[in-house]
A and B are shown apart, each in its own frame.
Chain A
């Protein structure tokens, strides 16, 4: 009997976790490991109606073993988009205007209250990530980690 599966084209999807892991490597290289980013799966929380995959993206310091700062949390379903993101509020206030003007962002659809946004596709996710990771807020946190690390070295 012939295959009944049809012509299957399997598109390899880059998950948000994979994208974030890639960015984490860049930070580690740029700071010689003093500061690094970690993707932490949040297993202790209740199952969320927002999606079953839930991660925190943290900035940490090589010489500050217990320090972490959560830049944002992402929650999504198996089919990935849309992604729910809860962003550090000060960071969100800094990038909000630029985010609204990203291609494809519809201010009526993408915003929840406070520092919560919905990301509809990969392009918007990358655009938002660029705004977050190049923000003054993130720069200040990394500088702070360096400054305190110096006290321990």
Chain B
């Protein structure tokens, strides 16, 4: 299953999304701050032979969810203003729990605010994992946090670690409480050896600033690592021949870069 996530910053962006879907043939497309016309996007895709569906979300306007799977294959699970959980039922024994998030901005909310939201999301996901006896779980979206921020790493947050080895211990016990872990492959995207150093650029006039942030992330359960194709994890900087970066390496079109990955 191929996934695309993009915070589209309320831009008119269908042309880019359509070209990405045509080029990469994603199975699941999750957009944050998507204000373009979804019906037109679906019609345009249909014209080139790609049938996708917009999956209903009741209480979270910040996220839009498109799949190649028919709506009848989708189970609607818990939502908040900041996340929506869906289960895609491929067949009786094969289902994926997908948490799509767009957490509150750093401008208006603290790391603790995001942690509280993540705690609620993780509790709901854990209940679904228990009920359906699966760890085929991914959480993807704009966390408005870096992989090293507390809400991402704390046991009472996402408890997401950078190392497969550590994640494969499955749980951490702190003060006699057991916490399930996530693996966060996004740590591998820091630095510029692979081209771009993050998904979001921000420069404020303070003495501490890392400029390139990785707010857009995917995390997976360690039991699911074997299905994650490392080489497929990519911060997209070009759509066909069109650059999503200016010559000065600043993000254009949206203020975030898209993220893609594939699960076997």
Residues of A near any B CB (own CB < 8 A): 42, 44-46, 56, 64, 66-70, 86, 88-90, 113-114, 140-141, 144-145, 147-148, 151
Contacts and interface: CB of A to CB of B under 8 A. Distances in A.
A86 B119 CA distance: 14
A114 B156 contact: no
Contact of A44 (B58, B71, B110, B123): B123
Nearest to A151: B71
Interface residues of B, number: 28
If over half of B's interface residues share one DSSP class (helix, strand or loop), that class is named, otherwise mixed; here it is mixed
Nearest to A61: B76
B56 interface: yes
A147 to B, nearest CB: 7
Given A45-B119, A114-B113, A88 B80 contact: yes
Nearest to A138: B59
B206 to A, nearest CB: 21
B58 A144 contact: yes
A-B complex: 3 closest residue pairs judged by Cβ atoms? A144-B58, A66-B77, A69-B59
Interface in B96-140: 104, 108-110, 113, 116, 119-120, 123-124, 126, 128, 131
B77 A67 contact: yes
A35 B90 CA distance: 28
B14 interface: no
B56 A144 contact: yes
Given A114-B108, A144-B56, A148-B58, A68 B156 contact: no
Contacts of A68: 77-79, 124
A113 to B, nearest CB: 8
Contacts of A145: 58
Q: Which of A45, A66, A140 has the most CB of B within 10 A?
A: A66
B139 to A, nearest CB: 16
Given A45-B156, A144-B59, A69 B79 contact: yes
Contacts of B119: 45
A79 B123 CA distance: 28
A139 to B, nearest CB: 12
Contacts of A56: 120
Nearest to B120: A70
B81 interface: yes
Q: Which of B58, B75, B124, B128 has the most CB of A within 10 A?
A: B58
